[in-house]
Amino acid sequence: EDGEDGSMSLPSPSNSASHSESRWGDTSSYTPRKIHQSWFKLPNGDWDLVNILSTTGTESVVSLTEGKVLKVKAENLISANPDILDGVDDLMQLSYLNEPSVLYDLEYRYNQDLIYTKAGPVLVAINPFKKVDLYGSDYIEAYKRKTAQSPHVYAITDTAIREMIRDEVNQSIVISGESGAGKTETAKIAMQYLAALGGGSGIEFEILKTNPILEAFGNAKTSRNDNSSRFGKLIEIHFSETGRITGANIQTFLLEKSRVVQCTEGERSYHIFYQLCSGAPPELKERLNLRRAEEYKYLSQSNCFSINRVNDAEEFRIVTEALNVVHISKEDQHSVFAMLAAVLWLGNVSFSVIDNENHVEVVEDEGLQTVAKLIECDIEELKLALSTRKMRVGNDSIVQKLTLPQAIDTRDALAKSIYACLFEWLVEQINKSLAVGKRRTGRSISILDIYGFESFDRNSLEQFCINYANERLQQHFNRHLFKLEQEEYIQDGIDWAKVDFDDNQDCLSLFEKKPLGLLSLLDEESTFPNATDMTFANKLKQHLRRSSSFRGERGKAFTVCHYAGEVTYDTTGFLEKNRDLLHLDSIQLLSSCSCHLPQAFASNMLTQSEKSIGGTSHKSGGAESQKLSVARKFKDQLFQLILRLENTTPHFIRCIKPNKLQSPGLYEQGLVLQQLKCCGVLEVVRISRAGFPTRMSHKKFSQRYGFLLQESLSSQDPLSVSVAILHQFNILPEMYQVGYTKLFFRTGQIGVLEDTRNRT
């Protein structure tokens, strides 16, 4: 919609803009006395820095970078910044805050491997997709001593530590961005800095070793990222009064468990499966009856077994070593590997149809036998659990044979449950090992690495939850940043009327309203045994059509207008995924195992179902275990998360993926722009346009422009000199504010002075 005319497309629609918006900041209505260079949008959507050769009324003749000369409408040109602002390390220093200027600044820096840039209080990190020389002990030392100044994860982490100690307030580092943007790497870089500054007790090594473990069990190769995290993570690192790390705690969110039984061509299941198959020592291989990854149905279906430049066998060694470091006993490790092998062998369990109603029996082959051996259960019970269902009818109990699709579902549900429980169990063990000593100081720094906004061709319950989380986090971001911005004005004593900003409350209410919000309606419909995805979709359309953030679509789909764009969700499978049921027969099977892990999983599931609300367990004949729905559990987790974050001073890092090929040196303007919009960076910029984004201390201002004064005031103090400059150049009073220490300017004002300065 930013047509060929090259008009501004910052998310501040000029039609809805208040008077102040167009009076103050809008570069399209503001024409500097002389434009030398401007931005012009090329037909391919990229911006070109053009030279203006002449301007006649409403038209200008410009020369493009590649030499061509064009006549264009003046309104299609957007002011470019003076050269001295090339590659500034904070976007707020730009005089003209428009899209092309922001994109250009980031690209200018990116091309010099300066992947970090500030956008006011926010750190923007652009994935280099190659090793850059910005890390390691020399850099850590430099940031610690404050001899290094340029924006960096180290710098923001350093600020967090200092503020934690100075203000005695917990801190958080909130990292967001889309898949492959570099969140997990960024989180690790922050952890390295924390470990280097707060280390000493040895616990920091344990903390760092949680990364290879969680990545092995929770990351996978996807089409967008070879090492994609399929869960969200919050790690809270605790410090003593003297700034030493005393322990840590990890919370995870919504692991994508469907990947265990199903994954698309070219992607992989969780790394740990391939690592185990290729890295297990012979003795372990034999004990688990392990084969090559190619021989397991769950792994072979996607036709992708290895990742470029990754040695799974070597990774397996690293993971076992890490498991040792976090005090997982050898015995437990063997049980963990046995569970993994059991999941793989479950996938190979097959069924034979025994009647013309498609009822099945389990084929008693190596797969079945191995599963029984690995989880240590009776093989007959395993067969029954996979091919029949006990139903309660009145006081009687009857056994029903399963059809082929039902049996496959049951088998896959069991595999997914075992894996998800294993993941949770591991996190629990890690937390025990990292547990903060009894002497809690209450000071901590939390790092949040959570999935960014997702919009695919087909969006399901996973995207629904993820985008809801992003909506909540965006609100937290907004509230915080705009509060901060305004606090700076007040601190410097300038005259300031509070600015309102578009918030996303409407969309959040669409999700959260009771009883007629998306989440409530989903949970309600999930409790009806006869409900279908279609009845669910119709219910949404019936109750939510008045919400401006909702739109019913044809068939089973609906659209939500998120702050980052519209997403159409397909309700197919929503209810089933939300119920996430494991049949009681399967749970009973797990509790009958001699191995302690499946037992623990089963008792965990039973406790959860006791906690579940509603007590609807009779409706489904008692054959299924009722528990908190996926959406409900996620919402509860999210509320806790936000509550925790609200009690911290947040620091935001927005990761940007410069191209979709995961390759270095390639900067695609359109892709970057879309992410800047999605993660709110342009929004921060937009809000600043309503305020006074350019700040300069009285001293710096008087030094830089003092020589332009007609009469010398060099003996005077910086404030008087500054005021004299402002008067001489007729800078309108509404264009600036004089603070106690700084001058605050509307966007574009410094550009005028720079132009004059350059011509003098």
Q: How far apart are CA 576 and CA 581, in angstroms?
A: 8
Q: Quickly count: other Cβ atoms within 10 Å of residue 642's Cβ.
A: 15
Given 228, 335, 620, 722, which residue is catalytic?
A: 228
Q: Is 229 in the site for Mg ion (CB under 5 A)?
A: yes
Closest approach of ligand ATP to the CB of residue 661, in Å: 12
109 makes contact with ligand ATP (CB under 6 A): no
Residue with tokens 């259960």: 377
Copy the structure tokens of residue 187: 């989180």
Task: Categorise residue 215: left if φ over 0, alpha if ψ from -120 to 50, beta otherwise.
Answer: alpha
Nearer Cβ to ligand ATP (188/757): 188
| Secondary-structure breakdown of the chain: helix, strand, coil percentages, each rounded to the nearest 5 | 45, 15, 35
Among Mg ion, ligand ATP, none, residue 185 binds (CB under 5-8 Å by kind):
ligand ATP
Nearer to ligand ATP, 655 or 753 (CB): 655
Which of ligand ATP, Mg ion, none does residue 655 bind (CB under 5 to 8 Å by kind)? ligand ATP
The reply to whether 176 sits near Mg ion by the rule CB under 5 A is no
- For the chain, first and last CA: distance in Å? 41
Stretch that binds ligand ATP, among 226-234, 319-327, 493-501, 589-597 (CB under 6 A): 226-234
Q: Residue 462 interacts with ligand ATP (CB under 6 A)?
A: no
Among 100, 121, 180, 691, binds ligand ATP (CB under 6 A): 180
Task: Note the Cα 252 to chain centre separation in Å.
Answer: 13
> Binding segment for ligand ATP among 172-180, 200-208, 694-702, 709-717 (CB under 6 A)?
172-180
Specify the stretch interacting with Mg ion by CB under 5 A; choose among 134-142, 227-235, 278-286, 731-739.
Answer: 227-235
Binding status of residue 157 toward ligand ATP by CB under 6 A: no
Shortest separation between residue 304's beta carbon and ligand ATP, angstroms: 16
User: Maximum Cα–Cα distance for the chain, whole Å?
Assistant: 104
In terms of DSSP bridges, do strands 742-745 and 550-552 run parallel, antiparallel, or are they unpaired?
unpaired
Closest CA to 121 of 743, 687, 696, 740: 687
User: Residue 482 binds what, of Mg ion, ligand ATP, none (CB under 5 to 8 Å, by partner type)?
Assistant: none
Is residue 702 annotated as a catalytic residue, yes or no? no
CB 626 within 8 A of CB 640: no
229 is catalytic: yes
Nearest Cα to Cα of residue 276 among 295, 291, 298, 255: 291
Would strands 47-56 and 388-393 be described as parallel, antiparallel, or unpaired?
Answer: unpaired
Please choose, from the candidates 196, 205, 203, 174, the residue with its C-alpha nearest in 3D space to the C-alpha of residue 187. 174
Q: According to the binding rule CB under 6 A, does residue 225 interact with ligand ATP? A: yes
Q: Is 263 left (phi over 0), alpha (psi -120 to 50) or beta?
A: beta
> Which residue in 117, 157, 170, 184 binds ligand ATP (CB under 6 A)?
184
**Is the CB of 172 or the CB of 526 nearer to ligand ATP?**
172
* Residue at token pair 């200018």: 108
The answer to whether residue 444 is catalytic is: no
Size of the chain, expressed as the number of residues it contains: 760
Total of residues contacting Mg ion (CB under 5 A): 3
252 catalytically annotated: no
Q: Which positions from 618 through 677 interact with ligand ATP, judged by CB under 6 A?
A: 655
The tokens describing 197, both together, are: 């500054």
Q: Which of 6, 218, 367, 452 is catalytic?
A: 452
Of 115 and 418, which has the nearer Cβ to ligand ATP? 115
- 182 binding ligand ATP? (CB under 6 A): yes
> Catalytic pick from 178, 215, 315, 454?
454
Looking at 11, 128, 243, 621, which residue binds ligand ATP (CB under 6 A)? 128
Quick check: is 228 catalytic?
yes
Query: Phi and psi at residue 479, in whole multiples of 5°?
Result: -55, -45
Nearer to Mg ion, 28 or 211 (CB): 211
Q: Between residues 180 and 198, which has the closer beta carbon with respect to ligand ATP?
A: 180
**Residue 464 contacts which entry, Mg ion, ligand ATP, none (Cβ below 5-8 A, type-dependent):** none
- 668: buried, middle or exposed (CB in 10 Å: 19+, 13-18, 0-12)? middle
Q: Residue 663 Cβ, how far from ligand ATP at the closest point, in Å?
A: 10
Q: Which helix (H) or strand (E) holds 399?
A: strand 396-401
Residue 188, both tokens: 């690790």
- Choose the binding region for Mg ion from 144-152, 196-204, 222-230, 535-543 (rule: CB under 5 A): 222-230
Q: Note whether 48 and 39 are within 8 A (CB).
A: yes
In the residue annotation, 59 being an active-site residue is answered as no
Q: From the list 93, 101, 117, 184, which residue makes contact with Mg ion (rule: CB under 5 A)? A: 184
Residue bearing tokens 């602002």: 85
Residue 503 is a binding residue for ligand ATP (CB under 6 A): no
Residue with tokens 């040109």: 77
Q: Give, in order, the Cα–Cα distances in Å from 343 to each of 249, 355, 382, 407.
A: 28, 28, 13, 16
| Interacting residues toward Mg ion by CB under 5 A | 183-184, 229
| Interacting residues toward ligand ATP by CB under 6 A | 127-129, 131-132, 177, 179-185, 225, 227-229, 451, 655
Positions annotated as catalytic residues are 179-180, 184, 225, 228-229, 452, 454
